[in-house]
Structure 1
């Protein structure tokens, strides 16, 4: 593989850095975690920004810093409170890893954020990219921060044909970045790469006409921008099918079930779910028309109880409240939402909760979507 960066002279590298950093100083985004070089703020922002858009993160960042302004506050926070502040951001393991790392800092580093790349990498949930971002921005250590944006920029800059979907390719991009990164302003350089990749050197239709490093870009010179980065197709998420039961008792409380302590959506609260196969999912869609009946009509009781939650004494309405879909990185959930009223105490573990008390519970995105379906039906029923 050709390594174009090896052909750059020291003078060319200096010119490239000067042009790129000048552009960054003029055009850098005004973001709340860039107000200072506090490693704690930088760390929190970088973890939040994983798999999440900047516009979404900003409000969450403000709330998080208000609730947990210091590493000590984060380390000692009740998990339910932490997850509630994180609610809606998804990938909840990120929040748990943050707290685990905060406890590491309190125990192993006397409450002070570590200052070397090796020590930063030792923290729970911190990989090469995050360590590079924190160490370069907070401590001016010459360490690349290589994420998808950076690999896209660098792959076009040098026409790198390595597949960015393969972990083994990271060493190539690491080598290229160490050749061109600023030795005096590594934090600004890494952030310039992030900004360029998110605003100009985009996956499709890059705005090459306004790119500050256009004259250095090999792909631009050869009119091959669309060929980079090279990326093999990602495996499609697996489809999983569920029915959800919104079950109400005579006290107008709704039953919630807590997920297990490990695995997907650990310790989150949801309406009870039962997995079914795709064929049965389709049958239920056809059998229970979502628009056929009013929700709380006495004539709306299913003549034959559906075969889900069959071990519970619940009177189910013969209507689908709605359908919810949610995509995780490896799974695509399809959920048919049903409403029922308990005829006897339930035998599954869970808790009866007044709807007014829902804000005190940590709801993942699928639960929020199911709750919205239920509330929409309540509103329709009152009209």
Structure 2
């Protein structure tokens, strides 16, 4: 039996029942593919359901505010995906009369849609013969064929894409693409796959040469940058002082508290840090350390400290980005997950006491 037939037979028995597999609607498939980028199915499925319920058509998505899109996206990470989806929905309504394209060469023109996503949507919605190559496919091909070229190198991508297209099952490209992706997700897993029950183990190079834990090869990324952000939380009865983050940094157009960024974690015994707080909030300001958190992003590790301020003063004309917002209203605004968690843990705990 061929490699392709083995995968398809395995898939027909073992596939998960996922809602986007019951449709060939390009818009619905686009929602699922973008939401699941760099996201596990278990985490992404509730977001897919939430987006489809709020935006059943691409026109509904296009007419939404960016704030609503980001609020629904809250907690999923990589917020540029949500912003790109919003822009793409508007382009589809404007340039494609609200009909989501289902062919690769049109899809690749849309914002936030790269080679993988264009191939996936076109394959699953129209049956176009395009190999879909994601991390799962890289892993299956690398292990089965014993390829040690780094999957995140230009040479590796070229080699794997060529092989994937050569192997593509022309009679049913969509079925084969789903099969190899699902096989990598739940059988040929990154860590501790159960190779003894794998239908491909007799002919798998990695299994037969004890290289399962070695392949695929990936070039190590540069060390993550550490950042230290100190949130200065001011509240007054049922209101809290917040600001909208601007372009050019993490969490663009999400809402958080006023903050000071330092070169390391400073405590309230650090004179420079104290002077910075007083410079922004007045000489008589009182401050209390509440909690610290660590937040991991792709290229950055964010070290966060939260301080509650009292007896503060500030000049709204000089700090125009700051606004008083009621706690109920804050709930409606898109926030970084760390801010949402802090509000839940601190403000509502205070309210209950």
> Do the structures match in fold with TM over 0.5?
yes
Residue number among 43, 68, 81 corresponding to 2:55 in the alignment: 68
Find the counterpart in structure 2 of residue 308 from structure 1.
277
Check whether the contact 1:237–1:327 (CA below 8 A) recurs between aligned residues: no
Range with greater deviation from structure 2 (187-196 or 23-32):
187-196
CA shift for structure 1 position 258: 0.7
Counterpart CA distance in 1 for 2:51 and 2:307 is 35
**Equivalent residue runs for 1:255-270 within 5 Å:** 255-270=241-256
CA, structure 1 residues 235+104, in 2 after alignment: closer, same or farther (shift >3 Å)?
same
* SS of corresponding position for 1:308: helix
Residue number among 355, 360, 363 corresponding to 2:335 in the alignment: 363
Check whether the contact 2:287–2:310 (CA below 8 A) recurs between aligned residues: no
* SS of corresponding position for 1:339: strand
Find the counterpart in structure 1 of residue 299 from structure 2.
330
Where does the alignment leave 5 or more consecutive residues of structure 1 unmatched?
1-11, 289-303
CA shift for structure 1 position 167: 3.5
CA shift for structure 1 position 376: 7.3
Compute the TM-score of the two structures, normalised by the length of structure 1: 0.85
* SS of corresponding position for 2:277: coil
Counterpart CA distance in 2 for 1:157 and 1:206 is 13
CA, structure 1 residues 21+182, in 2 after alignment: closer, same or farther (shift >3 Å)?
same
Compute the TM-score of the two structures, normalised by the length of structure 2: 0.92
CA shift for structure 1 position 126: 0.5
* SS of corresponding position for 1:227: coil
Q: Point out the structure with max Rg over C-alpha.
A: 1
Counterpart CA distance in 2 for 1:234 and 1:202 is 21
CA shift for structure 1 position 186: 1.3
Counterpart CA distance in 2 for 1:314 and 1:153 is 62
Find the counterpart in structure 1 of residue 288 from structure 2.
319
Find the counterpart in structure 2 of residue 344 from structure 1.
313
CA shift for structure 1 position 46: 0.7
* SS of corresponding position for 1:334: strand
Aligned residues: 349
Find the counterpart in structure 1 of residue 207 from structure 2.
220
Dislocated runs of 4+, deviation >4 Å: 314-318
Where does the alignment leave 5 or more consecutive residues of structure 2 unmatched?
none
